Structure 1
């Protein structure tokens, strides 16, 4: 035996800011790829906390999974019916200082795709206005160190190898390739000889398989006290390298041993030859492909042309295999179509096998859906049942002896069909990147001899969708991205929660949804008094802006409802943009109107400000300075105008105490109260009434803050006339009378 050559690799991801958990989109997801023949992976999980008074001690939840993004449930919500899931391995990192690093090691890791997800604790529902909150920032950065072997010995079937191991820190590594249609695999260790120790006992620990942090991913046998030992695998993973690790219980003692493998390959489908009658079996009526350059995946083979394969020969009676078209419809949307139609003939003599190609990690970001329906009209025996098993990497073929649906390294998912329950369904969120196999067989539980030649027809439907049932009525399916990896998740509304927005334990009632919709929409009618006051005082431009704001705020909130009480008269983003634009423009024109400029200056500033506000809202409609900038500038202009008039007239402006006491001070106080409600008190629970208060406060403040109409103007814009002559307004500033 020669010494193995180890190499190291290092991978690092950019730090990302963590968020409080409310749905899967709050999670920061990282994708790594572990190279082949890696024997050790060390993750450095670093959490960095910002500085500030709002920074507290938080527990960071971290999830790790091999083959697909982690399936998590941090707030213990219910999964939809017929959903099978296995929660990912998780650990908690507590941070009480500026930085905390957690080291996590995995020996003999599963090669391929690994995913790490992290998030802060559950969101408290507080609505933070951008720029007004002082939330502490937490950043998460994973780094991966890999130790791999570049000259790992290859073990072949029935070809023993002589190996040597000297300590637990220096184990022996081997690998064995398992081809398709393998049914049994046995690894045998014998002929142990330990330096300085009498006897032929094997002081060895054998581990077969690679660690994926999931149950049954490895098999371990302790050979201590035995002269030989073996590890038996039923239905090992197909088309895969299997890792064998042998460790010694002694330190600094060399043990020599022999290891061999015995592989049993079961029945195979009948060969169709290299070309054979392939072209004669093509069906030009296929819906899956069209055009001369299209292609479709059939099992592991890509067929090109305007064709479709007919059902392949079954071969002998121990296994019936169907070929499958894999049609990629969209991102994380794939349709699997059985060639020859969805109706499968299932027998008692042999299991029926359907391969499903999900080996691309791009197919792991959605939900795998399986629907089975038993055709009861052609049942030849009413007491029989059809058993199905969906498993990854290798099929479960012993359906007639046990229904455990467990292969060598994984636990599959079993389904049962009979006359009383003719339908069955299964949903798998974030399926593992692997070849999946669906096996079906007819079973007769009472007397097997009575149904020796019984057959049943099962209609199958297998497809990959972005979300479960498109998240239902109270959810929205959103496509998420982590670097170049795309995946999907449901964001729920109206108090609903869960992976498919089906958990109604905290759901809002219809009455509450209706009250919220009415409050948020009808509260905008409080802009009617400012419109009337503006028209009465001849401020027609200001009145038109208030009308614009009232209209779009009403229909924006009618479209923004989380439940079923929703009405959208146009695109949601358009309504939101117009609402934000109208709200800020209303404040802009109100403050400039209070400055009492000449019309030519006032309307110029109106137009210039509206254009700048429109641009800033397009850049970032929730940015603090995009909102405060125009408001502060308008306030500065108003103060300068008032100071100019006060200095010129040598008296305080506005001149009367009644204007201050009964109009300006109440208006400013109402505006400040409304702003405080908007910035500091809004949460997800009270949003419908706190935001309605904000609407009413802002509209009420406008009534108080609008200046009186200009001198010599009649209410509603009617010009004063005297003796048939119109009195012209004197444009000189010093002739104005301000009350």
Structure 2
């Protein structure tokens, strides 16, 4: 008989839970249908491209709890308008749902790499703020209010939005009993509308362009060839007698230029010379937009187009481009790139460089299938046998390698860019037209700590990546005392002293021609090389067909690789917590004792306390 009661109890429990789940599903489906029936307001000239309805948004705990969607952005757009709306689903009749703070990150080319929980990025990570594609951050409340975010002249490709409820420290949140409080779920609606730029004229950048002064402003576009040579743009201006105002030239790749976003920006006076030649570096194979306009008044704060002549591109003449070979595996986001070779056992590339050339290496990160992992780039100078395994210099007392008649000092500057190749500079920076950025690596043969370097790029952008390597000889980089005229360096006769007290009067000329070998490794893997230190597990988040890897950390640990222990409780605190929890369980002994002596338990079928008295 007891089993019959248990069976009936189980059936009632399942039925009640089933009814509750059906009610929750019905309420959720009804609100989603209301959202789907809502027609977005289209502005004149805009077209609805895509929308996502009824996406669940959760409190941020790790990348396991984020919601991700993507938007296709086409070419020749003058504006992209992203609409966001969040609201609360109240799935029971208890209490009410308060609006929550929802954060949305928007980025072109790959998933936004952010740390909402405040953990620091590992030291080997490239700072996401310094990456070429910026992260747009939008915050809104889940109160059903629409929010529109507009991006003028957006770069074409796939844009990704990552959404979550604003992070709160779980240690500061109160514990609530499920079923006794309001059951609230946050859902997200988003769409994309765009406006096409119809005024651009397709031209050939490699031939002269006739420009009618009377028709300015004008927007032209042309496609660059698949090489790293600069474009020599020749402008022939007619009808220059209409006005004496100068002409400004803005150039941008893949999208029309704006006031703040361009490859080059210069001005020239067509009345002085109606033919103007402008040289600029390009994004190979990409469409480039050229915007010509008239400007009145003083142009002293704008670069003169005469400065973009061939003299600034002499260093570009000895650049060589090599496409790297891809080595794939059957695991998520696990691949490597190296110089074309038949040696399939080692993808580490030995790149030979000389001071008279710039080596440019190119590899491709594929959309969707490659962007969910982390790209690891390592580089080292291959030194003599005195260096340990090619990674450490010979052991000396001082911090510098002995400067002798045989030992050369040299420096290698390595640049990394997406979509274009930069020019490494002696200063340890990289230049692309007017833009100067910090180099990825500066490898210096004088210091064992700087002949090797490593960087990790989480969620790399899809597209063509360029690694540019340039060698500088000791004639310009030697940290040595020089003779009076500065043309020769004193030779060190004894090893080890940093104060150069052992330098003799013997001098030699600094070398202007030198060569070196750089060990280069380009690999990708889930999480951080497939693991999360020793304090977490590497997992995959699959959301709407998109896949990204993330680290699921053990209690207290955090960060991208679970190596941050700043919030781990001390051993003493954990021992006290366990001890107090154990003591709290001892309080049940009294209840057990009372229940036992009063027979408050089921025994002998259905015999209870009520049936033991005659």
Tell me, which stretches of 5 or more residues in structure 2 are unaligned? 1-44, 297-304, 388-405, 478-508
Work out which of the residue numbers 390, 404, 407 in structure 1 matches 2:432.
407
CA distance in 2, matches of 1:215, 1:139: 37
Quote the residue 2:558 is aligned against: 497
Work out which of the residue numbers 462, 476, 480 in structure 2 matches 1:433.
462
Work out which of the residue numbers 523, 537, 541 in structure 2 matches 1:480.
541
Alpha-carbon shift at residue 446 of structure 1 (Å): 3.6
Structure 2 vs 1, CA of residues 198 and 234 (structure 1 numbering), >3 Å: closer, same or farther? closer
Count of residue correspondences: 485
Structure 2 vs 1, CA of residues 108 and 165 (structure 1 numbering), >3 Å: closer, same or farther? farther
Q: How does 1:419-458 map to 2 (within 5 A)?
A: 419=445, 420=447, 421-447=450-476, 450-458=510-518
Quote the residue 2:4 is aligned against: none
SS of the equivalent of 2:534 reads coil
Does residue 1:10 correspond to 2:49, yes or no?
Answer: yes
Quote the residue 1:175 is aligned against: 221
Does residue 1:85 correspond to 2:122, yes or no?
Answer: no
Alpha-carbon shift at residue 425 of structure 1 (Å): 0.3
Structure 2 vs 1, CA of residues 29 and 376 (structure 1 numbering), >3 Å: closer, same or farther? same
* Structure 1 range deviating more: 149-158 or 345-354: 149-158
Quote the residue 1:37 is aligned against: 76
CA distance in 2, matches of 1:49, 1:165: 56
SS of the equivalent of 1:319 reads strand
CA distance in 2, matches of 1:133, 1:139: 19
CA contact (8 A) 1:66 1:213 kept: no
Q: Which has the higher contact order (CA 8 A, sep 6+)?
A: 2
Q: How does 1:262-301 map to 2 (within 5 A)?
A: none
CA contact (8 A) 2:247 2:292 kept: no
CA contact (8 A) 1:467 1:500 kept: yes
CA distance in 2, matches of 1:35, 1:734: 77
Does residue 1:352 correspond to 2:362, yes or no?
Answer: no
Quote the residue 1:602 is aligned against: none
Structure 2 vs 1, CA of residues 328 and 734 (structure 1 numbering), >3 Å: closer, same or farther? closer
CA contact (8 A) 1:184 1:263 kept: no
Does residue 1:108 correspond to 2:153, yes or no?
Answer: yes
CA distance in 1, matches of 2:128, 2:84: 23
Does residue 1:418 correspond to 2:439, yes or no?
Answer: no
Work out which of the residue numbers 194, 203, 207 in structure 2 matches 1:146.
194
Structure 2 vs 1, CA of residues 483 and 213 (structure 1 numbering), >3 Å: closer, same or farther? farther
Alpha-carbon shift at residue 319 of structure 1 (Å): 2.7
Structure 2 vs 1, CA of residues 161 and 16 (structure 1 numbering), >3 Å: closer, same or farther? farther
Tell me, which stretches of 5 or more residues in structure 1 are unaligned? 1-5, 251-258, 268-315, 520-688, 714-728
Alpha-carbon shift at residue 426 of structure 1 (Å): 0.8
Quote the residue 1:208 is aligned against: 252
Work out which of the residue numbers 409, 413, 430 in structure 2 matches 1:387.
413
CA contact (8 A) 2:220 2:291 kept: yes
With the length of structure 2 as denominator, give the TM-score of the two structures: 0.66
Quote the residue 1:467 is aligned against: 527
Quote the residue 1:185 is aligned against: 231
Quote the residue 1:651 is aligned against: none
Does residue 1:509 correspond to 2:570, yes or no?
Answer: yes
Quote the residue 2:506 is aligned against: none
Work out which of the residue numbers 348, 367, 371 in structure 2 matches 1:364.
371
Work out which of the residue numbers 269, 272, 282 in structure 2 matches 1:236.
282
CA contact (8 A) 1:405 1:412 kept: yes
Quote the residue 2:103 is aligned against: 61
Work out which of the residue numbers 196, 199, 209 in structure 2 matches 1:160.
209
Does residue 1:319 correspond to 2:320, yes or no?
Answer: yes
Alpha-carbon shift at residue 731 of structure 1 (Å): 11
Quote the residue 2:380 is aligned against: 373
Quote the residue 1:686 is aligned against: none
Alpha-carbon shift at residue 121 of structure 1 (Å): 1.8
CA distance in 2, matches of 1:46, 1:358: 32
Q: How does 1:528-607 map to 2 (within 5 A)?
A: none
CA contact (8 A) 1:223 1:229 kept: no
Alpha-carbon shift at residue 206 of structure 1 (Å): 3.4
With the length of structure 1 as denominator, give the TM-score of the two structures: 0.56
Structure 2 vs 1, CA of residues 709 and 426 (structure 1 numbering), >3 Å: closer, same or farther? same
CA contact (8 A) 1:106 1:211 kept: no
Structure 2 vs 1, CA of residues 49 and 61 (structure 1 numbering), >3 Å: closer, same or farther? same
The RMSD of aligned alpha carbons is 4.5
CA contact (8 A) 1:8 1:146 kept: yes
Quote the residue 2:16 is aligned against: none
Pick the structure with more strand per residue. Answer: 2
Alpha-carbon shift at residue 44 of structure 1 (Å): 1.0
CA distance in 1, matches of 2:381, 2:612: 90
Alpha-carbon shift at residue 393 of structure 1 (Å): 1.2
Alpha-carbon shift at residue 142 of structure 1 (Å): 1.6
CA contact (8 A) 1:71 1:85 kept: no
Structure 2 vs 1, CA of residues 119 and 189 (structure 1 numbering), >3 Å: closer, same or farther? farther
Q: How does 1:618-657 map to 2 (within 5 A)?
A: none
* Structure 1 range deviating more: 464-473 or 119-128: 119-128
CA distance in 1, matches of 2:468, 2:365: 16
Does residue 1:330 correspond to 2:378, yes or no?
Answer: no
CA distance in 1, matches of 2:84, 2:231: 38
CA contact (8 A) 2:105 2:161 kept: yes
